[in-house]
Structure 1
Amino acid sequence: MPLPFLTADRAFDQAVDEALPFDDRDRWRRPYRPGPWRVGAAALLLLLASYVLVAAVIIAMAETPQAGAICFGGALLVIGCALRLLRVGIWVSARGVRQVGFFRTRTASWEPSVSVRTVQQPVRWLGLPRSVQGQALLLVRRDQVQEYVTPLMTTHNADFLARTEAFDRAADTIEAWAAEYLRAA
């Protein structure tokens, strides 16, 4: 079974000379693989869901089908959370950059008032309140009145913790997408 979320690095590795190695640039793509922390958490959630599914079958056979159905619904909710956790990250296309979170998705189009850059700054460790020194890829949007800065990804999030080379490669790729489409705009 093909896993499309694992093909991003392979496509990047095959076309090292080309900044934008994809033919269909209108399709949303993640320019990096999900990190081991994110994949591990999703695997643990799927393991929990398998136990809940077995419990749903046992409850449905031993007690009432309604209680089994409720337990089955809880397992489906856990599976949905695991799949959503794997989709979290930064996605790019010819239309812009999309920051997919667990509960919210934000999309910024490639406008002349947008820039993407990497800076050294304090970043949150795995999304927790504790901050450490690291790098962040920032999306900077300029309005007529003020400047809005949104950190897209950091060296200490669930995708890039202890993977600085992967962060550098992903940041360079996203910056190349931004440069390509800001030049065209």
Structure 2
Amino acid sequence: MPLPFLTADRVFETADDVALPFDDREHWRRPYRPGPYRVGAAALLLLLASYVLFAAVIIALTGSASEGGVVFGIALAVIAVALRLLRMGVWVSARGVRQVGFFLTRTTRWDKVVAVRTVQQPVRWLGLPRTVQGQALTVVRHDRAAGVAVPLLTTHNADFLARPEAFDRAADSVEAWGAEYQRG
């Protein structure tokens, strides 16, 4: 069963790749692959869900069906958490840039974007309160106060921790999408 949210739409094989090689630019796509920490956490959650589903079947067969249903609901919640964890990240299309978080999704249209750039700044390590020095891909919007930028990607999030080349490719791709649609 193909899982399109796990694959990147763009494969970086040569340096001469076109930044926007897609015919359907209205389709939301992630310009990078999810990182190993994010995929590993989701895999562990799905493994846990398989055990909980097995327990739900045993409980339903030996105990009451209502208790089995509750445990089955818990398994479905764990599966939903794993899938949402895999869905998190930055998505781009001709309409704008979308930052998908666990609870919140924020979309910014390209006509509201002033600049998309990579900056050196303190960034959060794996989304925790601790900050370290790293790079962040930021979006500066028209409606924000002067100098305030929203970080989209960082070198220390679950997708790019210990993978600086992947961060550079993803940042370049999002910057190319921004440059293309800020002009037009």
Partner of 1:83: 83
Q: Distance in 2 between matches of 1:73 and 1:14?
A: 46
The CA distance in 2 between the partners of 1:178 and 1:122, in whole Å, is: 23
Letter of the structure 2 residue corresponding to residue 52 of structure 1: V
Aligned to 2:67: 67
User: Residue 56 of structure 1 contacts residue 68 of structure 1 at CA under 8 Å; is this kept in 2?
Assistant: yes
Deviation at 1:114, TM superposition (A): 2.5
CA pair 54-144 structure 1, distance change in 2 beyond 3 A: closer
Using the aligned pairs only, state the percent identity.
73
Aligned residue for 1:129, secondary structure, equals: coil
Amino acid aligned to 2:4: P
Aligned to 1:26: 26
What is the identity, as a one-letter code, of the residue corresponding to 1:183? Answer: R
Residue 94 of structure 1 is matched in structure 2 by 94
Distance 1:6 1:144, change over 3 A: closer
TM-score, normalised to structure 1's length? 0.93
SS for the counterpart of 2:24 is coil
Determine if contact 2:113/2:139 at 8 Å carries over to the other structure: no
Q: 1 CA distance for matches of 2:32 and 2:22? A: 13
Distance in 1 of aligned mates of 2:121 and 2:148: 16
User: What is the CA–CA distance in structure 1 between the aligned matches of 2:163 and 2:123, rounded to whole Å?
Assistant: 15
The CA distance in 2 between the partners of 1:86 and 1:144, in whole Å, is: 29
1:113 to partner: Cα distance: 4.5
User: Size of the alignment, in residue pairs?
Assistant: 184
Q: Find the aligned partners of 2:69 and 2:144 in 1 and give their Cα distance.
A: 54
In structure 1, the gaps of 5 or more residues are none
Contact 1:59 1:65 in 2 (8 A): yes
Structure 1 position 159, deviation (Å): 0.2
Q: Match for 2:175: what amino acid?
A: E
Post-superposition offset of 1:16: 4.2
Do the aligned residues in 1 keep the contact of 2:121 with 2:133 (CA within 8 Å)? yes
In structure 1, C-alpha distance between the alignment counterparts of 2:145 and 2:166, rounded to whole Å: 35
Structure 1 letter corresponding to 2:117: R
Provide, for residues 121-170 of structure 1, a one-character-per-residue CA deviation record: whole Å limited to 9, x for no partner.
11111001111110000011133864541100100000000110000000
Residue 136 of structure 2 contacts residue 154 of structure 2 at CA under 8 Å; is this kept in 1? Answer: yes
Assess, with a 3 A threshold, how the Cα gap between structure 1 residues 66 and 144 changes in structure 2: closer, same or farther.
Answer: closer
Cα distance in 2 for residues equivalent to 1:15 and 1:7 = 20
Instruction: Specify the SS of the correspondent of 1:179.
Output: helix
Mark the CA change 1:142 to 1:177 in structure 2 (over 3 Å): closer, same or farther. Answer: same
Please state whether the residue corresponding to 2:78 is helix, strand or coil: helix
Q: Contact 2:112–2:141 (CA<8 Å) still a contact in 1?
A: no
Flag the 1:10–1:151 CA change in 2: closer, same or farther, 3 A.
closer
- Of 143-152 and 132-141, deviating more is 143-152
List alignment gaps of at least 5 residues for structure 2: none
- 1:26 alignment partner, SS class: coil
- Cα–Cα, structure 1 residues 166 and 104, in superposed 2: closer, same or farther, change >3 Å? same
* Contact 1:97-1:108 at 8 Å conserved across structures: yes
